[in-house]
Amino acid sequence: MLMIRFQRTGRKNDASFRIAVLEKTAGPKAGKYVDLVGTYNPKTKVSTLKPDAIKDWVGKGAQVSPSVHNLLVKQGVMDGPKSAKVVKQSELGKNIAKKKAEEEAAAAKAAEDAAKAEAEAKAAQEAAEAAPAEETPATEEAPAETPAEEAAPAEETPATEEAAPAEEEAAPATEEAPAE
């Protein structure tokens, strides 16, 4: 089966690509190709295409790689939507694990933030409801509390004086019990 795909050429860190028709099983860097139908330089975004040759090979049953398909759609040689981005299998496992961990962390943080915001809103609402209810009785009770406070110390003083003699009487009784 034939494929129309990129074949890398150029120096290290200065890639350029041939758009070649070659066997699907042949390596992408192999020098053998059936037909050269264009070139593409990703740095300068310059491409030279042979649209008639590309359409002829596609008519004969050659498949187009997703990356070349996207380039041909962009250049107007082929019609249809662009293909999905192709990710290498070796990168796929790493990227999926990273994305999954990031999504879980983001979801956990969003849930925590939502719960915290909900708790703060509930506390603010309860405080707002309780504040008017507390203010009204507090103003009415304030004059009543002042005389009660003055009366309370007077009541406490005799109670503590009365409790002290009772404790003294209880103390000799406990001392006499072991002596008998």
pLDDT (mean) for 11-23: 91
| Tens digits of residue pLDDT in 107-155 | 889 889 888 888 888 888 888 887 765 555 545 555 555 554 555 555 5
Q: What is the CA radius of gyration of the chain?
A: 44
Residue 153: predicted pLDDT: 53
**Residue 85: strand, helix, or coil:** coil
pLDDT (mean) for 77-84: 84
Residue 168 lies in a domain: no
In this structure, the answer to whether residues 125 and 54 fall within a common structural domain is no
pLDDT (mean) for 80-86: 79
pLDDT exceeds 90 at position 20 = yes
Q: What percent of the chain has pLDDT over 90?
A: 29
In this structure, the answer to whether residues 21 and 96 fall within a common structural domain is no
Residue 83: predicted pLDDT: 82
CA–CA dist 58, 79 (Å, integer): 13
CB-neighbour burial class of residue 177 (10 A; exposed 0-12, middle 13-18, buried 19+): exposed
Looking at residue 28, which CATH number applies to its domain?
Answer: 3.30.1320.10
Question: Cβ distance 51 to 77 under 8 Å?
Answer: yes
Residue 63: predicted pLDDT: 92
Confidence of residue 87 (pLDDT cuts 50, 70, 90): low
Structure pTM? 0.47
Total domains in the fold of the chain: 2
Confidence of residue 70 (pLDDT cuts 50, 70, 90): very high
Report in angstroms the alpha-carbon separations of 123 from 47, 110, 138: 64, 20, 21
In this structure, the answer to whether residues 49 and 122 fall within a common structural domain is no
The structure tokens listed for 119 are 């708790």
> What does residue 41 show for φ and ψ, rounded to 5 degrees?
-115, 110
pLDDT exceeds 60 at position 80 = yes
Tokens 């099983």 identify what position? 25
